């Protein structure tokens, strides 16, 4: 791909016109959010940069100075440009007395509650380096006090990954630091980040755009915040769980009322209310935008019927006592009336899309038709706090359909279509060949029909990935769609797709997707489930064995069964095992991430095998290692 042009292009006339029209559709004269996002600033992050002691840059807002004080250029939707400017606010902010937030130092916020003798930290950001920097910024401006508690609002990595930047696992194990999470937290962390972790990581590159250069024709924002911080993802397992629908705790003299909200924005999530301060924390269930029902990186479809209900319950339980609303992204809302109005809009936003998508489905509309038809009510459409900077009405409506009715639209013609490559070849053949399709698409591109051009050029690319004209025209169409997109995630996906069509996937240095802390934290059952996901069925064909795994450090026994090219596991011990393996979890961890081999572990005493060790060697030889930078814009070869 080195001979391909790599520089982004200018906005086409139709894109300029589309973005100019946005200025007349929304109340840009309303500048209240600019004041709210800056309110309470105590100290900004010096130079907008987080560096390690060795000088490595983990976070750099200096790359976004092109956003400062300017109107949107033709290559950025003006509404998204506005949101990107708001997300430049960064540093230590005061919400009310004894309640502070670190914002703009990562994708998420870290909330700091001052207890009687120490600190309660809510969501320690996504990596240890930025979390440590955020806490240091607090200590530079407030008295230095010990951390007594760390609270995870939910199971997404940007809300727990910095844990070891603000606390130690030793202090948590000794009970000196409470680590509190909603019930099901560890199961949710393991399920989402392990079993589909490689695919989600690859797809997240399109959602957040971390490999896109910041700029007017590149990445400007991620919707929930600027981007994802670099650094070490850590995890301190919780030593205290919130298990009832509502619970009250007093931590370091601070009363906290917890409200569980499972299966909302995350499988395990909770809100909390601080009656002493009149502050309601809605975690990630009520932020000033339209969130995702399914993020572009992938996830289980979220239950927005419940999501809306949890917001309604929070309004009922805490509304008449709330003076300030915070969340773990963006800026607060102050004043009881404004808080209740904001929550009412959020409640109705999620319920409206849910209900109307199902209404249309029951009328016989298909997912794409629902997505094209469904609109928000006029009174919501012009409100900045429900705009689709992260989720969109379009893909959220499809998520509702998927949750209830699956991927299948009900038309038998779509039940078993040809796979992308043979289907594309037949379609291009029917349309008169690649040259004819490209000629027609160029004419449509000139008319601004970028959605169709991207769609049809994708077919030509899949029919022949070496067709340079098709790749370029598809990239050009995706680029214009990105320039017009209001959603940061759509913009990033379009622009990153254009980049990969022109340059090919970036080749990153090999690295393990699972961080050491995540490897240690997940259950052995999840580990064996991940082993089963990695099993190459062709290599396993014809083999059958039973391995009795006994873990001397935990006392656990699990039986792994290979039969019919499928791995299953049950509690042990086994009565008919092919071999018995005695080991510890750290040794299994090392084997699973290829840091050691079976032979090495037997030699150093980490594995004791009763039976033929060749069976164990064979098992690990059957496991696929997943390449991170697999093809998305072009056909992906299936490894055998």
Percent of the chain clearing pLDDT 70 (strictly above): 98
Question: How far are the Cα atoms of 262, 317, 408, 411, 417 from residue 366, in angstroms, in the given order?
Answer: 29, 38, 9, 9, 16
pLDDT in tens, 601-613: 999 999 999 999 9
In this structure, what DSSP letter does residue 565 have?
T
pLDDT in tens, 371-429: 999 999 999 999 999 999 999 999 999 999 999 999 999 999 999 999 999 999 999 99
Q: What is residue 507's predicted lDDT score, i.e. its pLDDT?
A: 81
pLDDT in tens, 344-359: 999 999 999 999 999 9
Q: Is the pLDDT of residue 513 over 70?
A: no
Torsion-angle region of 128 (φ positive above 0: left; ψ -120 to 50: alpha; else: beta): alpha
Token couple for 505: 């996937």
Would you say 116 and 253 are in contact if contact means Cβ atoms under 8 Å apart? yes
Q: What is residue 215's predicted lDDT score, i.e. its pLDDT?
A: 97
Q: Is the pLDDT of residue 462 over 80?
A: yes
Q: What is residue 3's predicted lDDT score, i.e. its pLDDT?
A: 55
Q: Is the pLDDT of residue 639 over 70?
A: no
pLDDT in tens, 186-199: 999 887 778 888 89
Q: Is the pLDDT of residue 640 over 50?
A: no
Q: Is the pLDDT of residue 75 over 50?
A: yes
Distance CA 237, CA 258 (A): 19
Place of tokens 């279509």: 417
pLDDT in tens, 520-576: 888 899 889 999 999 999 999 999 999 999 999 999 999 999 999 999 999 989 888
Q: What is residue 520's predicted lDDT score, i.e. its pLDDT?
A: 80
pLDDT in tens, 431-445: 999 999 999 999 999
Q: Is the pLDDT of residue 4 over 80?
A: no
Phi, psi of 521 (to 5 degrees): -85, -30
Q: What share of the chain is helix, strand, coil (3-state, %, to 5)?
A: 45, 15, 40
The average pLDDT across 165-169 equals: 97
Question: Angle, nearest 10°, between helix axes 488-503 and 197-208?
Answer: 100
What is the pTM (predicted TM-score) of this model? 0.95
Distance CA 570, CA 559 (A): 5
Strand partners for 271: 259
For residue 125, name the pLDDT band (cuts at 50, 70, 90).
very high
Average pLDDT of the residues of the chain: 95
pLDDT in tens, 311-367: 999 999 999 999 999 999 999 999 999 999 999 999 999 999 999 999 999 999 999
For residue 511, name the pLDDT band (cuts at 50, 70, 90).
low
Token couple for 207: 């959602």
Count of beta carbons in the 10 Å neighbourhood of residue 589: 18
Considering only CA atoms, which of 540, 567, 572 is closest in space to residue 555? 572
Q: What is residue 516's predicted lDDT score, i.e. its pLDDT?
A: 78
Percent of the chain clearing pLDDT 90 (strictly above): 90
For residue 593, name the pLDDT band (cuts at 50, 70, 90).
confident
Domains of the chain: 31-353 (3.60.15.30), 417-484 (1.25.40.880), 523-621 (3.30.1050.10)
Element (H, E) at 78: helix 78-86
pLDDT in tens, 25-48: 999 999 999 999 999 999 999 999
């Amino acid at each position: 791909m080195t001979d391909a042009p790599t520089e982004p292009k200018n906005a086409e006339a139709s894109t300029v016109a589309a973005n100019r029209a946005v200025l007349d559709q929304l109340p840009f004269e309303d500048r209240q959010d600019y004041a709210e996002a800056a309110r309470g600033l105590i100290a900004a992050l010096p130079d907008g940069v987080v560096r390690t002691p060795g000088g490595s840059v983990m976070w750099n807002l200096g790359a976004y100075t092109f956003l400062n004080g300017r109107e949107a250029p033709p290559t950025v939707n003006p509404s998204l440009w506005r949101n990107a400017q708001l997300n430049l606010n960064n540093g230590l902010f005061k919400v009310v007395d004894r309640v502070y937030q670190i914002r703009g130092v990562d994708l998420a916020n870290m909330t700091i509650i001052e207890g009687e003798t120490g600190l309660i930290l809510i969501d320690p950001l996504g990596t240890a380096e930025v979390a440590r920097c955020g806490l240091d910024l607090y200590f530079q401006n407030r008295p230095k006090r010990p951390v007594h508690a760390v609270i995870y609002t939910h199971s997404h990595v940007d809300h727990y990954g910095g844990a070891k930047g603000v606390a130690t696992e030793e202090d948590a194990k000794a009970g000196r630091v409470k680590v509190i999470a909603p019930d099901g937290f560890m199961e949710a962390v393991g399920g989402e980040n392990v079993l589909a972790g490689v695919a989600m990581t690859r797809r997240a590159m399109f959602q957040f755009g971390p490999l896109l250069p910041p700029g007017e024709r590149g990445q400007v924002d991620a919707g929930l915040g600027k981007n994802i911080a670099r650094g070490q993802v850590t995890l301190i397992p919780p030593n205290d769980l919130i298990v009832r629908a509502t619970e009250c705790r007093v931590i370091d003299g601070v009363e906290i009322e917890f409200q569980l909200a499972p299966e909302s924005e995350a499988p395990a999530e909770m809100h909390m209310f601080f009656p002493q301060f009149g502050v309601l924390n809605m975690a990630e269930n009520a932020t000033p935008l339209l969130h995702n029902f399914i993020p572009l990186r992938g996830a289980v479809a979220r239950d927005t019927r419940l999501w809306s209900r949890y917001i309604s319950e929070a309004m009922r339980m805490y509304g008449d006592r709330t003076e300030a609303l915070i969340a773990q992204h963006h800026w607060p809302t102050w004043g009881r009336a404004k808080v209740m109005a904001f929550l009412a809009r959020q409640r109705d936003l999620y319920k409206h899309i849910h209900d109307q998508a199902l209404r249309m489905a029951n009328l016989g509309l298909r997912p794409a038709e629902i997505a094209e038809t469904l609109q928000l009510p006029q009174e919501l459409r012009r409100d900045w706090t429900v705009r689709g900077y992260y989720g969109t009405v379009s893909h959220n409506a499809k998520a509702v359909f998927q949750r209830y009715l699956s991927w299948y639209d009900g038309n038998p013609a779509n039940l078993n279509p040809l796979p992308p490559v043979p289907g594309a070849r037949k379609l291009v053949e029917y349309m008169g060949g690649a040259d004819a399709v490209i000629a027609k698409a160029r004419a449509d591109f000139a008319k601004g029909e970028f959605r169709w051009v991207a769609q049809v050029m994708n077919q030509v690319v899949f029919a022949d990935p070496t067709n340079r004209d098709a790749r370029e025209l598809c990239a050009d169409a995706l680029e214009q769609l990105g320039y017009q997109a209001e959603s940061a995630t759509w913009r990033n996906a379009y622009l990153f797709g254009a980049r990969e069509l022109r340059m090919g996937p970036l080749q990153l240095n090999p690295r393990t997707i699972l961080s050491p802390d995540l490897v240690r934290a997940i259950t052995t059952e999840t580990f064996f489930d991940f082993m089963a996901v990695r099993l190459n069925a062709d290599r396993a064909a014809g083999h059958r064995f039973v391995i009795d795994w006994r873990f001397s450090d935990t006392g656990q026994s699990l039986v792994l069964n290979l039969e019919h090219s499928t791995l299953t596991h049950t509690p042990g011990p086994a009565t008919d095992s092919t071999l018995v393996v005695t080991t510890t979890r750290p040794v299994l961890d090392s084997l699973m991430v290829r840091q050691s081999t079976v032979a090495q572990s037997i030699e150093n005493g980490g594995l004791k095998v009763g039976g033929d060790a060749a069976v164990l060697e064979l098992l690990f030889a059957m496991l696929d290692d997943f390449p991170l930078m697999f093809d998305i814009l072009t056909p992906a070869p299936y490894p055998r």
